Amino acid sequence: MNLLRLGRIPIVAAGSNIAMIAFFDRPHRASMTIQLHDTLRGKKVPFEPQTPGEVTMYLCGPTVYNYAHIGNARPAVVFDLLARVLRRRYKLTFARNITDVDDRINAASVETGRSIDEITAKYIKAYNDDMGTLGVRPPDVEPRATQHIDVMISMIEALIENGFAYVAEGHVLFDVSSYERYGELSKRNLREMIAGSRVEVAPYKRAAHDFVLWKPSTPELPGWDSPWGRGRPGWHIECSAMAEKHLGATIDIHAGGQDLVFPHHENECAQSSCAHGGAPFARYWLHNGFLSIDETKMSKSLGNVLLVHDLIETIPGEVIRLALLSAHYRQPLDWSAETIESARRMLDRLYGAVRGIEVSDEARAAAVVPEALVAALEDDINTPKALAEFFALARALNKSNDDEEMQRLAAEMYAAGELMGLLGKDPEEWFAGHVVGDMTADEIEALIEQRNAAKAERDFQRADAIRDQLHEAGVTIQDGRDGTTWRRGS
Ligand code: AMP
Ligand code: ZN
């Protein structure tokens, strides 16, 4: 084992195969149950799946008429992390759909003169490639709306038969007044909603808030034959049908961005529950907070929409992922140059800690993710706390001079990285052509301690190498009677 290392600089790192071996994420000692914040109950609650040992999760995926923007990437990254956390304990079936029939897609087709199939195929691939760059693993099922029209039609038929929906002028509408619990998820009172409504009542609707399950299509628009004529589904029924087909009548977790609570999830909930004899649609509803750009709402009209496809040209995917995980998922997150720089510096610190340590296969096999980090993630995906634990590990590693301990800590860091979707590169590759960002005072002091230890052992070569490393990072040190002092700059 070749493990001569000091601080961040490997003196010898022969045959480094760091990050080349997959970690098997072993479950930690079962402690508390996972806690999740449920939008319906309005609080954090212990998570118990309906079938012991198994979990079903559905995330509303992209509408594929354009590249995903950085806001769209937030739910993809956050719930990818939740999926990774759940998989440690449960057999998870995670479905993330593709909405490939939508008026915005039709509009994009008209605008560009390209076929709908060409547009959706292009943006489905781009979405998966871009999310892959952010470390988002493919879901277990990726259902497409256009491949589930038959399921939607059956569900709509069941709703009509049972008095929850009605047909009017080629449309099928959900009769909101037939579902007593309408408004429960989004905490809205239907009567107040109706009173305050400014929605024009379409002539075919019985009430303003009745929503479309099926609508007619003109010959040039995509359409399918149905008992109500040639038409296409409404957006909400798509998710209800795909969830039923792949995950069953009642799913454990339903996730998406906060903007989807109303009307999308409220409507999904109403339809599914009514189509399934009153069975709850989802047992836990999770919603991520919104992402703003430089403290401004992202919007096309303001011209501040940042596409992931463009950002990954210049920013490493891991930096974007860490930036998206740096705030708690229910909190707003502001995206700015500072958000990106701070994530980049954090990764420098994490990679810097493991740099030059060649971790043996045995150490890797024995590595477990520190319990405190897992506990933070299992506590409603508390990523700020989990990252703090990650840095505590990096600090311990920076301070260590013991080969065996360093291997163990480095292996734990890789295991933590595997869980969080970070630290997937070889550190040398990470730092290649990339200037190390500012060293923190803690890191500088840890290196000075290591240098003093080397001097005490009369290992002057090592002591000099540490001084050079600090010098390279723009830190000057001075030995005096009272110990070593340091300052930034020469
Ligand atoms: P859409 O393709 O518009 O249906 O959005 C896909 C997902 O991205 C949904 O879960 C949205 O809630 C989410 N989303 C859209 N904009 C933002 C944003 N600015 N911040 C966070 N999530 C967003
Ligand atoms: Zn949905």
Q: Whose CA is nearest to atom 8 of ligand 1?
A: 72
With a 6 Å cutoff on the Cβ, whether 63 touches ligand 1 is yes
**Among 390, 424, 458, which residue terminates a domain?**
424
pLDDT for the residue numbered 432: 75
User: Do 389 and 447 belong to one domain?
Assistant: no
Full DSSP string of 249-297: SSEEEEEEEGGGIIIIIHHHHHHHHHHTTT--SEEEEEEEPPEEETTB-
Spatial contact of 67 and 307, defined as CB atoms under 8 Å apart: yes
User: Do 137 and 281 belong to one domain?
Assistant: yes
Distance 348 CA to ligand 1 centre (A): 29
User: Do 141 and 221 belong to one domain?
Assistant: yes
Distance 449 CA to ligand 2 centre (A): 54
User: Do 116 and 180 belong to one domain?
Assistant: yes
Buried b (16+ CB within 10 A) or exposed e, 385-406: bbbebbeebbbbbbbbeeeeeb
Estimate the crossing angle of helix 441-456 against helix 460-472, to 10 degrees.
160
**Residue 68: which CATH number?**
3.40.50.620
With a 6 Å cutoff on the Cβ, whether 62 touches ligand 1 is yes
Is residue 429 assigned to a domain?
no
pLDDT for the residue numbered 195: 64
Is residue 304 assigned to a domain?
no
Is residue 432 assigned to a domain?
no
Looking at the CA of residue 63, tell me the nearest atom of ligand 1.
2
User: Do 188 and 93 belong to one domain?
Assistant: yes
Number of domains in the chain: 3
User: Do 464 and 403 belong to one domain?
Assistant: no
User: Do 25 and 62 belong to one domain?
Assistant: no
With a 6 Å cutoff on the Cβ, whether 264 touches ligand 1 is no
Is residue 326 assigned to a domain?
no
**Among 264, 292, 320, which residue terminates a domain?**
292
Give, for ligand 1, the residue of 66, 74, 96, 254 to mutate: max count of ligand atoms closer than 8 Å to Cβ. Answer: 74
**Among 292, 327, 347, which residue terminates a domain?**
292
Distance 448 CA to ligand 2 centre (A): 54
Looking at the CA of residue 291, tell me the nearest atom of ligand 1.
20
Ligand minimally distant from the alpha carbon of residue 73: 1
Is residue 251 assigned to a domain?
yes
**Residue 382: which CATH number?**
1.20.120.640
Select from 397, 398, 389, 387 the least CA-distant residue to 443: 398
Is residue 236 assigned to a domain?
yes
With a 6 Å cutoff on the Cβ, whether 71 touches ligand 1 is yes
pLDDT for the residue numbered 193: 74
pLDDT for the residue numbered 486: 73
pLDDT for the residue numbered 438: 62
Looking at the CA of residue 292, tell me the nearest atom of ligand 1.
19
User: Do 340 and 459 belong to one domain?
Assistant: no
Distance 191 CA to ligand 1 centre (A): 28
User: Do 448 and 412 belong to one domain?
Assistant: no
Distance 81 CA to ligand 2 centre (A): 19
User: Do 80 and 210 belong to one domain?
Assistant: yes
User: Do 404 and 453 belong to one domain?
Assistant: no
In angstroms, the CA 159 to CA 319 distance is: 46
The pTM assigned to this predicted structure is 0.83
Distance 320 CA to ligand 2 centre (A): 25
Distance 386 CA to ligand 1 centre (A): 24
User: Do 103 and 229 belong to one domain?
Assistant: yes
- Tens-binned pLDDT, residue by residue, of the chain (490 aa): 333 333 333 222 333 333 333 333 444 444 589 999 999 999 999 999 999 999 999 999 999 999 999 999 999 999 999 999 999 999 999 999 999 999 999 999 889 999 999 999 999 999 999 999 999 999 999 999 999 999 999 999 999 999 999 999 999 999 999 999 999 999 998 777 766 666 667 889 999 899 999 999 998 889 999 999 999 999 999 999 999 999 999 999 999 999 999 999 999 999 999 999 999 999 999 999 999 999 999 988 899 999 999 999 989 999 999 999 999 999 999 999 999 999 999 999 999 999 999 998 888 889 999 999 999 999 999 999 999 999 999 999 999 999 999 999 999 999 999 999 999 999 988 887 454 456 766 788 889 999 999 999 999 999 999 998 888 877 778 888 778 877 665 5
Partnered with residue 389 across adjacent β-strands are none
Looking at the CA of residue 61, tell me the nearest atom of ligand 1.
6
pLDDT for the residue numbered 367: 94
Is residue 82 assigned to a domain?
yes
Q: Which domain holds residue 456?
A: 441-488
Is residue 323 assigned to a domain?
no
Residues 6+ apart with CB under 8 A from 48: 33
